[in-house]
Amino acid sequence: MEVIYITMGVSVLLGGLFLYLFFRNVKTGQYDDIYTPSVRMLFDDELVKEPKKDKKQKETVEKKSTQ
Amino acid sequence: MSDSVCYHCGLDCGKSPVEFNDKCFCCNGCKTVYEILNQNELSCYYDLEQNPGTIPKEIQGKFDYLDNEEIAEKLIEFTDGTTSVVEFYIPSIHCSACIWVLENLGTLNPAILNSLVNFPNKTVRINFKSKDTSLKDIVELLTSIAYEPYISLEDADKSAKKVDKTLMYQLGIAAFGFGNVMLLAFPEYFETEGYWLDEFKYMFRWMMLTLSIPVVLYSAKDYFVTAYKGLIKGILSVDVPIALGIIVIFLRSSYEVIADIGPGYFDSLTGLIFFLLLGKVFQQKTYNYLSFERDYKSYFPIAVTKIVAGKEESVPVQDINEGDRLLIRNEELIPIDAILINGEGLIDYSFVTGESEPVYKGTGDKVFAGGKQTGGAIEIDVINKMSESYLTELWSNDIFNKDIPKDNIKNLTNRISKYFTITIVTISVIAGVYWAFIDLGIAANVVTAVLIIACPCALALAAPFAMGNMLRIFGYRKFYLKNDAVIEEIDKITHIIFDKTGTLTTNEANELTYVGDSFTTKELVAVKSLIRSSNHPLSRALNSYIKVDAAVDSILKYQEVVGKGISGELNNLQIKIGSANFVNATKQDTLNTTIYIKINETIKGYYKSKNIYRKQVASIISDLGTNYKLSILSGDNDGEKAYLQSIFPKKTNYLFNQKPQDKLDYIKILQDKGEQVMMIGDGLNDAGALAQSNVGIAISEDINVFSPACDGILDASLFEKLPTFLSLSKKTIRIIKWSFRLSFLYNFVGMYFAITNQLTPLVAAILMPLSSITIVIFVTLMTNLFANKR
């Protein structure tokens, strides 16, 4: 059962690692704004260059497909 | 696509929309924004949301002051010479398309390296190459696409706004300690002898002790500090029994481990601290984008245009001196008391009085700080120092300068905990004395056990969770409170005071009545046709008031003089519509705003515009009148007194022609009589009263922009909900009182174990979290239940 020394050590170390990560995230401001990134990740990266004409139709199709 | 809805902002375009690219726009401003975005391949903006935009405002010359380096320096957060960082507060951020277009600013101005939106705070942080572009260019760009940043004196004065994250760190440490200690404590709950546990339990115990040290010393340190501070002042706040409990649990547990007696109560200890901190976090609901501390500074511009030897020059507001000549353009605020020298002033004092109708001022008249010029540019001569002006004088009142410490000590929890602490200490002493006759060792055990089990975790958690939850519920319903203590203050209110203009009445809709000679149909048609061409709010109101069909004939010699009126010729009728001054009439009605009509050199009469009362004012008043004493404090004349008397209860006090200072004094007098006063107002003239009252609620048509310092902000459209909010606050306090009883019940049970010397770590580990969790669940469910009923 001496293995328990290792498992206890590992479990506390793991906990400590997460604690460290939590501290770092708080410090870098990851929890300051928890809304905007959720919207931002859904934006396309490229700007749309095609002409505006059939845009409306495409948009409704897109909307349906996402819903 | 829908025909008459503006493609950009979604407003009704009316009968003659501006058309461009097969799309309708309500005005040229919206069209311009569309053009800018379209040319730069940013039209995706319109795909993200339907009609996402807002109407841009005139900006010409408005931001010239940003070229002044001294001012720009104050706004820029960081610069290394080539790149700079600036953060703007933009009230018009409202949807995901806003985020998208603001984060693609770099496409519109290549010098902008990147921009990052914080949606909840409504801010955008911009990184830009300061060599290639200027602060002014960026602000003008933002304004041209209808995202005008809100820049005020307050921003310039800001000392690094650092958010205190200590609580988050403390919570992290406590969670870490709690989790690990729980794992380590678990095996010993089952007292099985001769098992492998005997070999390892010493290591487990020492690890628990080690893990608890940072939790006690760092996470719980605020409890020791506040308890100590309270004791010095002779106050037994709820932190005293908590701190005492924490110290006792820690010392006794450490002793048990070191002396090899038992595992101690480290699991209960860390759990207790973790739950307490969780309550604190939950309590801290802040509306970052709202400010409850605004004074006149946040209303005022950062800089004004000063005229020196015929040249215009931007100077920071605080550098204005007596005798300076200033240029105030359309839509600019007068920062200081002055005399009008050149031009015609049409001053909107709505920030100051809540009254939105502009007042006419001629050359030589005095204009007061806080007024906004609407119309052409004017020149003014400064007569006072900034700090001595009519408006700012109010802020020199003590009520604004006293740094009133948040009075936690008198709150409900602390009032009860006083008796609680005394009782607990008494019980532990009696139990200790009793056991001392039998066995001294047991006596020590019992005394510590009583202090451990009595540690009022549940008591301390009830109020934060109940109030925190109610604060959130209010927030969803657009009633924003400064902090949770306000709920308790509302519960105690005995007297409610209303401001009239802008509070009981609305700024948005007006009621028109006509006084004068009657029109012929032909004349009325002509008036209507003419008025239709104007976009002024009064013209629009008049247009919908006159119920005839407008003529299709074209109008000749149409002319609109900004801030004065319109004139034109139609069907051989010369028509002038506008202020008394504009048509050369003597103003007969000085109480109300009037629109005079002049046809062929004869003055026919005038329309009088009157503020109308908010919906359901009468029912709200009768609702509140049964439970509270009411007063009306108005800066206006008593013209409406008769109407007010018809809806208010008989005992109501009416005070008219009240200056800001008078309002403040009146509240002070009431408070001296022992009344708990709630003030409901809107303009800056109520600021003193709002600060003096026990609870100051600001009514705001646009909660993001202007509201004076207060304890709560209520969205004007929800004024009718006021009685509901008040009764919900009362219910919250009742729920808290119930949960106190519940937690005392737990304490009785625990006390039985403690006094009879049966408190094992297992009992403590079950009882303490159980009581905390049930209390939290109870108050959360109850507050939601009451809120949903409404």
Which residue in B168, B184, B211 is closest to A26 by CB distance?
B168
Q: Tell me what pLDDT residue B475 has.
A: 84
The pair of structure tokens assigned to B336 is 């200081």
Q: Tell me what pLDDT residue B530 has.
A: 78
pTM of the predicted model, to two decimals? 0.75
Chain A residues close to B207, C-beta within 8 Å: 8, 12
CB B453 within 8 Å of CB B750: yes
Q: Does the residue A38 lie in any domain?
A: no
Q: Which residue of B has its CA nearest to A17?
A: B176
Q: Using a CB–CB cutoff of 8 Å, tell me whether A14 touches chain B.
A: no
Q: How many domains does chain A have?
A: 1
Which residue in B107, B200, B211 is closest to A4 by CB distance?
B200
What does the DSSP 8-state code read for residue B693?
S
Most confident of A9-18, B3-12, B445-454, B610-619: A9-18
The continuous run of DSSP H or E covering B116 comes out as strand B112-118
**CB–CB contact A1 B21 (8 Å):** no
Residue B589: which pLDDT band, with cuts at 50, 70 and 90? low
Q: Does the residue A54 lie in any domain?
A: no
Within a 10 A sphere around the Cβ of B208, how many other Cβ atoms?
27
Give the tens place of pLDDT for each residue, B224-265. 998 898 888 877 788 888 898 899 999 999 999 999 888 888
Amino acid at site B625: G
Instruction: Establish how many alpha carbons lie within 13 A of residue B413's alpha carbon, considering only the half-sphere containing its beta carbon.
Output: 25
The pLDDT of B121-138, averaged and rounded, is: 85
Within a 10 A sphere around the Cβ of B555, how many other Cβ atoms?
19
Q: Is the pLDDT of residue B478 over 90?
A: no
**CB–CB contact B207 A8 (8 Å):** yes
Q: What percent of chain B has pLDDT over 70?
A: 84
Q: What whole-number distance in Å separates Cα of residue B241 and Cα of residue B276?
A: 13
CB A36 within 8 Å of CB B117: yes
- CA dihedral in degrees (B170, B175, B181, B186; nearest 10)? 150
Q: Does the residue A55 lie in any domain?
A: no
Instruction: Establish how many alpha carbons lie within 13 A of residue B540's alpha carbon, considering only the half-sphere containing its beta carbon.
Output: 7
The pair of structure tokens assigned to B645 is 């008397």
Shortest CA distance to B379 belongs to which of B329, B440, B335? B329
Of B117-131, B278-292, B467-481, B510-524, least confident by mean pLDDT is: B278-292
Q: Does the residue A53 lie in any domain?
A: no
SS3 content of chain A, % helix, strand, coil (to 5): 65, 0, 35
Q: Does the residue A61 lie in any domain?
A: no
Q: What percent of chain B has pLDDT over 90?
A: 9
Give the tens place of pLDDT for each residue, A4-60. 888 888 988 999 999 999 999 988 888 877 788 888 888 776 655 544 444 444 444
Q: What are phi and psi of B648, to 5 degrees?
A: -90, 155
The pair of structure tokens assigned to B426 is 């008494």
Shortest CA distance to B775 belongs to which of B735, B748, B729? B735
Q: What whole-number distance in Å separates Cα of residue B597 and Cα of residue B567?
A: 10
Which residue in B104, B107, B119 is closest to A33 by CB distance?
B119
**CB–CB contact A35 B119 (8 Å):** yes
**CB–CB contact B203 A43 (8 Å):** no
**CB–CB contact A44 B180 (8 Å):** no
Q: What whole-number distance in Å separates Cα of residue B270 and Cα of residue B272?
A: 5
Shortest CA distance to B301 belongs to which of B370, B392, B385? B370
Q: What whole-number distance in Å separates Cα of residue B2 and Cα of residue B601?
A: 45
Q: Using a CB–CB cutoff of 8 Å, tell me whether A66 touches chain B.
A: no
Chain B residues close to A23, C-beta within 8 Å: 169, 172
Q: How many residues does chain A have?
A: 67
3-class DSSP assignment, residue B472:
helix
B 30-59 residues with CB below 8 A of A?
A: 38, 41-44, 47-48
Which residue in A5, A39, A47 is closest to B42 by CB distance?
A47
CB B302 within 8 Å of CB B271: no
Chain A residues close to B172, C-beta within 8 Å: 19, 22-23, 26
**CB–CB contact A40 B120 (8 Å):** no
Q: Using a CB–CB cutoff of 8 Å, tell me whether B195 touches chain A.
A: no
Q: Tell me what pLDDT residue B735 has.
A: 92
Q: Is the pLDDT of residue B409 over 60?
A: no
A 25-64 residues with CB below 8 A of B?
A: 26-27, 31-33, 35-36, 39-40, 42-44, 47-49, 52, 55-56, 59, 62
Q: Does the residue A63 lie in any domain?
A: no
Q: Does the residue A26 lie in any domain?
A: yes
Q: Is the pLDDT of residue B86 over 70?
A: yes
Q: Is the pLDDT of residue A65 over 50?
A: no
Q: What whole-number distance in Å separates Cα of residue B182 and Cα of residue B179?
A: 5
**CB–CB contact A47 B41 (8 Å):** yes
Q: What are phi and psi of B213, to 5 degrees?
A: -55, -50
Chain A residues close to B180, C-beta within 8 Å: 11-12, 15
Cα–chain center distance at A59? 26
Residue B340: which pLDDT band, with cuts at 50, 70 and 90? confident
**CB–CB contact B165 A43 (8 Å):** no
Q: What whole-number distance in Å separates Cα of residue B716 and Cα of residue B725?
A: 14
Q: Does the residue A35 lie in any domain?
A: no
The residue with greater pLDDT, B43 or B604, is B604
Domain that holds residue A12: 1-30
CB B374 within 8 Å of CB B348: yes
Q: How many helices (DSSP H) and strands (DSSP E) are in chain B?
A: 27, 28
B 2-21 residues with CB below 8 A of A?
A: 21
Q: Tell me what pLDDT residue B179 has.
A: 92
Residue A61: which pLDDT band, with cuts at 50, 70 and 90? very low
Q: Is the pLDDT of residue B545 over 50?
A: yes
**CB–CB contact A47 B163 (8 Å):** no
**CB–CB contact B165 A27 (8 Å):** yes
Q: Answer yes or no: is the ipTM higher than 0.90.
A: no
Q: How far is CA B781 from CA B278, B561, B578, B787, in A?
A: 17, 60, 59, 10
Q: Is the pLDDT of residue B177 over 90?
A: yes
**CB–CB contact B199 A5 (8 Å):** no
Of B9-13, B70-74, B144-148, B661-665, least confident by mean pLDDT is: B9-13
